[in-house]
Amino acid sequence: MKTLATRGVFVRFGEVDALDDVSIVLEAGQATMLAGPNGAGKTTLLKVLLGLVRPDHGAFEVDGERALVDNDWKRRIGYLPEAVAFSENLSGQQQLRFFARARGVSREHTEAVLERVGLHAARRRAVRGYSRGMRQRLGLAVAILTKPDLLILDEPTAGLDQEGLAVLWSVLEEWREQQRMVLVSTHDLALMERRVDQMCVLQKGRVLAQGSANDLRMAARLPHHVWFEVGDDDARVRLLCEAMEKWGKGRVERGEGIVGVEVAPEAILELMEIQSGFPGTVRGLRVEEPTLDIVYDRLLGVA
Amino acid sequence: MMGRVGRALVLHEFLERTRDRWVLVISVLFALLASAVSLYGQSADAEFAKLTGPSLVTLVSLFIPLVAMVLSHDAIVGERERNTLGLLLSLPVSRLEVVVAKFVGRALALGVAVVAGLGMVALVSDGAGAGSLAKLAGPTLLLGLSFLSIGMLISACTRRQVAAASAVVITWFALVFFFDLGLLALLVVSDGAISQQVIANLVIANPAGLYRIVMMQAFAGPDVLGDLGMTASLPGPIVVAGIWAAWLLLPSIVSGAILSKARMS
């Protein structure tokens, strides 16, 4: 599978449009993050792909061909639901063996997956004694059991400690390397940003923005902060600040040994030209991009 | 024909249910009480079919519906509330197959409870009344399966597990206790306007009533109502089998239809 696309998906629950004309494209070897406030439609979109919610309108394409969400499709998907839960009375091993039997996976592979998610030592303990992070790891084990073409993860970082996160990152990396797809719904933007290739921001059931983190930064049109480390020659530094203020495309602030300029991303090159006129005064510089959380807030109109 | 997922789910449900504390407590209590009834019958030196058998029928008609509905009330609503239904339905399996597999897995657990209870009776009675116990086993299982099916329907219809548990208790009281009392009241209030035949038909429309009548016939003979001075007649085995089949299948089929139409919002 090289591409998976939803085309104009529309889902209505009662009076609420849970998804309204949602079209997204997932590509092999890429991890895509779905972001958006609660009720934006993230989980509904995942459920459409899982065949749990039948859309009122819209189509679903695999490699450009119209496809059905049937049992053959379900065999190609691994799913980690939000706040994953299991029967409390059974052990982690019994739970995973159930999914293994259901999907025709061998016992040896099941044990190996338990080992991979770090639950092998606790495999015989009843799930009621598992922490939230352990349950999440067990959920991840269920999702990756068959090495599915598409891994759908709903809030996968919830409750995971550093060790659990390391397992999650290794899974994401493996899926990308092996040209499979990952779709992650999350509120944890900062944590996920570096692990995904593209993002899709949903709001009130509509796609608000889609692309790489940089595309979204550009779309948000938020200023960047450029910090110049300057020398001790006060007169030269003052001249530099005056030149930048005269330029008029950035807000200049001066501190001890540092000059900061808040500037639109497309004006940064011009700013570099101005500073190049002051050789020896500028000793170093750092460009600070707005964090993804700020970009997200701007896109949603929160800030 | 059940697929791989369905078969795996049957085993999973069986394992899960046989580890449920409530099911274990009620099943053990049933086994202990059934054994006590059997021991009492032995000490009274009575014939099994005359004292122990009818007493066991009363006990079974109280306990087995309760065990069955405790087993099944959370089958669907429990998964929904624990947020595990989505994960289950993301497997390559139809929703109807999920309901059937859940029913079969829980029916096996119920079978263990019934066999354990009646097995204890056989053990403590030293094999006496084995024939009567054999007569009891089949209808007892049918009674349990009917209530298991009703529990599945309650589970499919409710949105919260606590609501399903309440509905199960109300249904149990209604069918096991109040149904017969209500019919009795109807008979008295109507002062003969409603015939005994109508009342008898209403009794056997209830699985608990049908069980009692079938077992009374088994222990006391086919003319049990006549012996009790009643003019009503009971239906033949085909009609009885039809009533059992209806109770067993209809609620489960409706459960499957409800789950199939449900949107996992």
What are the residue ranges spanned by the domains of chain B? 4-173+244-264
Answer yes or no: do A81 and B86 touch at CB < 8 A.
Answer: yes
Closest residue in B to A88 (Cα–Cα): B16
CA B225 to chain centre: 23
Q: What are phi and psi of A166, to 5 degrees?
A: -60, -40
Nearest C-alpha neighbor of B18 from the set B145, B100, B114: B114
Report the pLDDT averaged over residues A88-111.
Answer: 95
Describe the strand order of the beta sheet including A282-288 as a list of residue ranges: A250-255, A258-263, A224-230, A282-288
Kindly tell me if the per-residue pLDDT of A303 is higher than 60.
no
| Per-position pLDDT tens, chain B of length 265 | 689 999 999 999 999 999 888 888 988 998 899 888 888 877 776 676 677 888 889 899 998 999 999 999 999 999 999 888 999 999 999 999 999 999 999 999 999 999 988 888 888 877 777 777 888 889 999 999 999 999 999 999 999 999 999 999 999 999 998 998 888 888 888 887 888 788 888 888 999 999 998 888 887 777 766 666 666 677 788 988 999 999 999 999 999 999 988 877 6
Nearest to B92 among A44, A75, A87 (CB): A75
Kindly tell me if the per-residue pLDDT of A124 is higher than 90.
yes
CA distance A88 to A121: 18
pTM: 0.85
Note the pLDDT of residue A102. 95
Question: Which residue, among B85, B90, B102, B263, would best test binding to A if mutated, counting the most A CBs under 10 Å from its CB?
Answer: B90
Query: Sign of torsion, CA B182 B185 B190 B194?
Result: positive
ipTM: 0.84
Interface contact B264, partner A, CB < 8 A:
yes
Q: List the single range of A36-45, A72-81, A277-286, B228-237 with lowest mean pLDDT.
A: B228-237
Greater model confidence, A115 or B22: A115
CA-CA distances (angstroms) from residue B183 to A174, B175, B190? 68, 11, 10
HSE, side-chain direction, 13 A CA sphere, residue B107: 20
Cβ proximity of B86 and A84 under 8 Å:
no
Greater model confidence, A213 or A135: A135
Note the pLDDT of residue A214. 84
CA distance A276 to A203: 43
CA distance A160 to A117: 11
CA-CA distances (angstroms) from residue B169 to A6, A179, B114? 46, 53, 20
For the record, the structure tokens of B79 come out as 């998964």
CA distance B114 to B206: 20
CA distance A132 to A112: 21
Kindly tell me if the per-residue pLDDT of A285 is higher than 60.
yes
CA distance A278 to A281: 6
CB atoms within 10 A of CB B185: 11
Note the pLDDT of residue B224. 66
Note the pLDDT of residue B229. 61
CA-CA distances (angstroms) from residue A272 to A252, A279, A285? 14, 12, 10
Contact residues on chain A for B87, CB-CB shorter than 8 A: 79, 81, 84, 139, 142
Cβ proximity of B56 and B34 under 8 Å:
yes
Instruction: Band the pLDDT of A114: cuts 50, 70, 90.
Output: very high
Nearest to B83 among A51, A85, A87 (CB): A85
Nearest to B90 among A79, A94, A104 (CB): A79
CA distance A161 to A117: 12
**In Å, how far is B104's CA from the nearest CA of chain A?**
16
CA distance B6 to B10: 6
Closest residue in B to A13 (Cα–Cα): B265
CA B133 to chain centre: 17
Chain A residues whose C-beta is within 8 A of a chain B C-beta are 13, 18, 44, 47, 50-54, 71-72, 74-75, 77, 79, 81-87, 89-90, 94, 98-99, 101-104, 139, 142
**In Å, how far is B147's CA from the nearest CA of chain A?**
23
**In Å, how far is A132's CA from the nearest CA of chain B?**
14
Cβ proximity of B232 and B225 under 8 Å:
yes
Nearest to A90 among B16, B89, B263 (CB): B16
Non-local (6+) Cβ contacts of B191 within 8 A are none
Interface contact B9, partner A, CB < 8 A:
yes
CB atoms within 10 A of CB A88: 14
Kindly tell me if the per-residue pLDDT of A261 is higher than 80.
yes
**In Å, how far is B3's CA from the nearest CA of chain A?**
9
Closest residue in A to B7 (Cα–Cα): A102
Report the pLDDT averaged over residues A242-269.
Answer: 88
CB pairs under 8 A between A and B: 79
CA distance A141 to B161: 28
CA distance B177 to B24: 23
Closest residue in B to A91 (Cα–Cα): B16
Note the pLDDT of residue B174. 95
pLDDT per residue as tens digits for the range A2-55:
999 999 999 999 889 999 999 999 999 999 999 999 989 999 999 999 999 989
Interface contact B82, partner A, CB < 8 A:
yes
Cβ proximity of B140 and B212 under 8 Å:
no
Answer yes or no: do B90 and A51 touch at CB < 8 A.
Answer: yes
Interface contact B25, partner A, CB < 8 A:
no
CA distance A262 to A245: 11
Contact residues on chain B for A54, CB-CB shorter than 8 A: 263
Closest residue in A to B259 (Cα–Cα): A52
Describe the strand order of the beta sheet including A206-211 as a list of residue ranges: A77-80, A150-154, A181-185, A31-35, A198-203, A206-211
Question: Which residue, among A76, A101, A128, would best test binding to B if mutated, counting the most B CBs under 10 Å from its CB?
Answer: A101
DSSP string, chain A: --EEEEEEEEEEETTEEEEEEEEEEEETT-EEEEE-STTSSHHHHHHHHHTSS--SEEEEEETTEE---SHHHHTTEEEE-TT----TTSBHHHHHHHHHHHHT--HHHHHHHHHHTT-STTTTSBGGG--HHHHHHHHHHHHHTT--SEEEEESTTTT--HHHHHHHHHHHHHHHHTT-EEEEE-S-HHHHGGG-SEEEEEETTEEEEEE-HHHHHHHHTPPEEEEEEE-S-HHHHHHHHHHHHHH-SEEEEEETTEEEEEE-GGGHHHHHHHHHTSTTTEEEEEEEPPPHHHHHHHHHT--
